[in-house]
């Protein structure tokens, strides 16, 4: 039985090889709209009736309903005659005779300049065309036939002749190749008048493409500022879990919407305000890049089955957002301290005190990290979601301290994360339901209480108690918070403070 199934599977895959759908995205016809056509070289199944646009995309934790931006959807037969199509809900098109379809065409309005009533798409997850650029987050203009999410596909981009294109996708002739719809969505494309720079981090080529509306930012200047961060990341991770990586930067003078960055397996995409490139602003940009780059570990290598087989039809939250975003934020900050890029004083100020203040003043403290995860796709949840970068990062930091304390300075959160990369990794998800239990088994029973209090529930964060474990005093006077080294720490506190500032040698 098994062999037959396997053989059958191979036969189908081979067929797919010859019949990959070819998506052509034309960014030259109009400065507000992408014209998309899909050529279908081989007959579709009679059951392939539903063409689906994404309701959300991995790593956005946001409802997007891309169908809102799609118009003039047509299915044509070989002779160019229209086949009946019916719109179903926000994101689906029902094709009456899929086996007769040779071409699909539609228009995708850019998300930047298209007003919507609710759920605006974050700019870094959106799309834009002007005469000098096209920003293509592929899920904003590509859909797939239900049942074919895992089929390979090809993408051709028609841009202006002088444009440069940056993407992590490999190219074959005029087509970019994607192994699956998920892979396409995981691979943004930036094209236009871009600057380019590259470097190597150990054996991994790092490529940077930058669009800068008023020319204040170049890939070379960004790379210079990012080099210390990249090296600190390498030291923290020991070995980078990717064999190439692309940074796509997009700077706009007056962005109209939420800016930020979005992580992918082999790239990350930034839409940021084009401020003056002062040292302080460059540091902010580098800190964001550090965060996105660390995502190659989580969620891109460590994630639950909900992320592994992603549901584009119905947004499905994973309760482990604390791990994907909270731990990432913590790691991307502390690796800079451990790598000597920022001082202890700056780390305490920016990554602890500042985060405590934002958690307390801008968000509802009664939301647990688990609730932030579970409700991120609804409108109330979207308002609290941002706290995952503050409260989530603080909780990850205290989990690190607790692990260091319980292991007597042998193993903190970094070491546990690297063990998880070894144990799981791409294609081998953690268990959505059992991961907390598995983590306790891997570590200490006390970690179960920590998870219960600070991830599942919203107990007040134990700033003073935890910082004292590593010999730091925590004091509040009015609204002011101070964290200082203890004058007379115990031997254990002294040892833990020293270890806390280091990447421990690995027993792997
Ligand atoms: Zn993130």
pLDDT tens digits, residue range 215-224? Answer: 999 999 999 9
Whether 8 has a pLDDT exceeding 50, the answer reads no
Q: Across residues 135-163, what is the average pLDDT?
A: 97
Residues 371 and 266 in one domain: no
pLDDT given for residue 507 in this prediction: 61
C-beta of residue 63 within 8 angstroms of C-beta of residue 76: no
pLDDT tens column, 13-46: 333 445 799 999 999 999 999 999 999 998 998 8
**Ligand 1 centroid, distance to 287 Cα (angstroms):** 11
**Ligand 1 centroid, distance to 37 Cα (angstroms):** 32
**Ligand 1 centroid, distance to 300 Cα (angstroms):** 11
Instruction: Give a yes or no: residue 351 inside a domain.
Output: yes
pLDDT tens column, 314-332: 999 999 999 999 999 999 9
Contacts of 4 (CB under 8 A, 6+ apart): none
Residues 272 and 366 in one domain: no
Instruction: Give a yes or no: residue 289 inside a domain.
Output: no
pLDDT given for residue 6 in this prediction: 34
**Ligand 1 centroid, distance to 116 Cα (angstroms):** 25
Nearest to 400 by CA among 358, 338, 487, 475: 338
**Ligand 1 centroid, distance to 157 Cα (angstroms):** 28
Instruction: Give a yes or no: residue 416 inside a domain.
Output: yes
Nearest to 210 by CA among 247, 260, 249, 168: 249
The structure tokens listed for 391 are 């409260």
**Ligand 1 centroid, distance to 343 Cα (angstroms):** 23
**Ligand 1 centroid, distance to 272 Cα (angstroms):** 15
**Ligand 1 centroid, distance to 389 Cα (angstroms):** 8
**Ligand 1 centroid, distance to 234 Cα (angstroms):** 18
Residue 27 and residue 36: Cα distance in Å, rounded? 9
Domain boundaries, position 356: 297-500
C-beta of residue 152 within 8 angstroms of C-beta of residue 16: yes
**Ligand 1 centroid, distance to 292 Cα (angstroms):** 6
**Ligand 1 centroid, distance to 318 Cα (angstroms):** 14
**Ligand 1 centroid, distance to 25 Cα (angstroms):** 28
Task: Measure CA 128 to chain center.
Answer: 19
**Ligand 1 centroid, distance to 487 Cα (angstroms):** 37
pLDDT tens column, 232-287: 999 999 988 899 999 999 999 999 999 999 999 999 999 999 999 999 999 999 99
**Ligand 1 centroid, distance to 125 Cα (angstroms):** 12
**Ligand 1 centroid, distance to 301 Cα (angstroms):** 13
**Ligand 1 centroid, distance to 325 Cα (angstroms):** 5
pLDDT tens column, 417-443: 999 999 998 889 999 999 999 999 999
**Ligand 1 centroid, distance to 60 Cα (angstroms):** 9
pLDDT given for residue 425 in this prediction: 84
Residues 204 and 311 in one domain: no
**Ligand 1 centroid, distance to 298 Cα (angstroms):** 9
Whether 136 has a pLDDT exceeding 70, the answer reads yes
Instruction: Give a yes or no: residue 427 inside a domain.
Output: yes
pTM above 0.85, yes or no: yes
pLDDT tens column, 336-368: 999 999 999 999 999 999 999 999 999 999 999
Among 138, 159, 189, residue at a domain's last position: 189
Specify burial of residue 385 (Cβ count, 10 A radius: 0-12, 13-18, 19+): buried
Instruction: Give a yes or no: residue 453 inside a domain.
Output: yes
**Going along 213-340, which residue ranges are E strands?**
245-252, 260-263, 267-273
**Residue 116 is part of a domain; what is its CATH number?**
2.60.40.3650
**Ligand 1 centroid, distance to 262 Cα (angstroms):** 7
The structure tokens listed for 253 are 């003078």
**Ligand 1 centroid, distance to 330 Cα (angstroms):** 11
Among 142, 171, 189, residue at a domain's last position: 189
Residues 355 and 470 in one domain: yes
Residues 53 and 145 in one domain: yes
DSSP 464: H
Instruction: Give a yes or no: residue 102 inside a domain.
Output: yes
**Ligand 1 centroid, distance to 494 Cα (angstroms):** 32
Give 246's strand partners. 207, 267
**Ligand 1 centroid, distance to 9 Cα (angstroms):** 36
Instruction: Give a yes or no: residue 13 inside a domain.
Output: no
Instruction: Give a yes or no: residue 386 inside a domain.
Output: yes
**Residue 376 is part of a domain; what is its CATH number?**
1.10.390.10
**Ligand 1 centroid, distance to 286 Cα (angstroms):** 14
Residues 214 and 333 in one domain: no
**Ligand 1 centroid, distance to 321 Cα (angstroms):** 10
Is residue 461 helix, strand or coil?
coil
pLDDT given for residue 208 in this prediction: 98
Whether 3 has a pLDDT exceeding 70, the answer reads no
Residue 136 and residue 124: Cα distance in Å, rounded? 10
Residues 258 and 402 in one domain: no
**Ligand 1 centroid, distance to 363 Cα (angstroms):** 18
DSSP one-letter string for 173-191: TTEEEESSHHHHHT--EEE
Residues 198 and 179 in one domain: no
Residues 256 and 335 in one domain: no
**Ligand 1 centroid, distance to 378 Cα (angstroms):** 19
C-beta of residue 93 within 8 angstroms of C-beta of residue 71: no
Residues 250 and 123 in one domain: no
pLDDT given for residue 18 in this prediction: 52
Residues 325 and 410 in one domain: yes
**Ligand 1 centroid, distance to 41 Cα (angstroms):** 38
**Ligand 1 centroid, distance to 418 Cα (angstroms):** 18
Whether 508 has a pLDDT exceeding 70, the answer reads no
Residues 345 and 494 in one domain: yes
- What is the domain count for the chain? 3
**Residue 207 is part of a domain; what is its CATH number?**
3.30.2010
**Ligand 1 centroid, distance to 506 Cα (angstroms):** 26
**Ligand 1 centroid, distance to 322 Cα (angstroms):** 10
**Ligand 1 centroid, distance to 468 Cα (angstroms):** 29
**Ligand 1 centroid, distance to 140 Cα (angstroms):** 19
Among 282, 313, 345, residue at a domain's last position: 282
């Amino acid at each position: 039985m098994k062999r037959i199934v396997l053989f059958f599977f191979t036969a189908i895959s081979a067929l797919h090889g010859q019949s990959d759908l070819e998506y052509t995205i034309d960014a030259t016809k109009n400065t507000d709209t992408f014209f998309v056509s899909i050529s279908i070289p081989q007959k579709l199944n009679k059951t392939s009736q539903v063409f689906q646009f994404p309701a959300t995309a991995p790593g956005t934790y946001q409802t997007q309903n891309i169908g809102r931006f799609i118009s003039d959807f047509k299915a044509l037969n070989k002779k160019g005659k229209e086949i009946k199509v019916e719109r179903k809900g926000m994101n689906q098109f029902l094709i009456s005779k899929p086996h007769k379809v040779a071409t699909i065409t539609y228009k995708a309005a850019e998300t930047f300049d298209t007003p919507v009533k609710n759920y605006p798409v974050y700019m870094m997850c959106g799309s834009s065309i002007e005469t000098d650029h096209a920003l293509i987050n592929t899920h904003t203009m590509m859909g797939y036939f239900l049942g074919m999410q895992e089929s390979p596909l090809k993408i051709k981009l028609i841009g202006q002749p002088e444009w440069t294109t940056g993407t992590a996708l490999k190219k074959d002739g005029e087509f970019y190749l994607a192994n699956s719809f998920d892979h396409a969505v995981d691979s943004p494309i930036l094209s236009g008048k871009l600057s380019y720079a590259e470097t190597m981090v150990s054996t991994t080529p790092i490529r940077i493409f930058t669009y800068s509306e008023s020319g204040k930012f170049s890939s070379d200047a960004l790379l210079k500022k990012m080099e210390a961060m990249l090296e600190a990341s390498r030291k923290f991770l020991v070995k980078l879990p990717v064999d190439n990586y692309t940074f796509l930067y997009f700077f706009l003078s007056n962005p109209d919407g939420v800016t930020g960055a979005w992580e992918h397996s082999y790239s990350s995409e930034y839409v940021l305000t084009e401020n003056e490139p002062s040292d302080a602003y460059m540091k902010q940009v580098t800190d964001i890049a550090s965060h996105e780059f660390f995502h190659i570990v989580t969620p891109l290598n460590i994630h639950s089955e909900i992320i592994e087989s992603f549901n584009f039809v119905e947004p499905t939250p994973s309760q482990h957002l604390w791990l994907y975003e909270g731990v990432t934020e913590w790691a991307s900050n502390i690796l800079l301290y451990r790598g000597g890029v920022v001082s202890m004083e700056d780390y305490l100020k920016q990554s602890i005190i500042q985060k405590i203040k934002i958690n307390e003043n801008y968000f509802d403290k009664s939301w647990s990290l688990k609730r932030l995860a579970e409700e991120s796709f609804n409108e109330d949840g979207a308002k609290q979601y941002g706290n995952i970068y503050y409260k989530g990062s603080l909780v990850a930091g205290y989990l690190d301290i607790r692990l260091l304390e319980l292991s007597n300075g042998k193993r903190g959160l970094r070491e546990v994360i690297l063990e998880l990369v070894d144990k799981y990794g791409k294609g081998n998800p953690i268990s959505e339901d059992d991961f907390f239990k598995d983590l306790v088994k891997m570590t200490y029973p006390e970690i179960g209480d920590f998870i219960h209090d600070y991830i599942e529930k919203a107990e007040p964060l134990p700033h003073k108690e935890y910082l004292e474990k590593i010999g730091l005093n925590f004091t509040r006077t009015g609204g002011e918070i101070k964290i200082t080294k203890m004058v007379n720490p115990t031997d254990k506190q002294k040892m833990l403070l020293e270890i806390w500032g280091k990447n421990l040698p690995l027993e792997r």
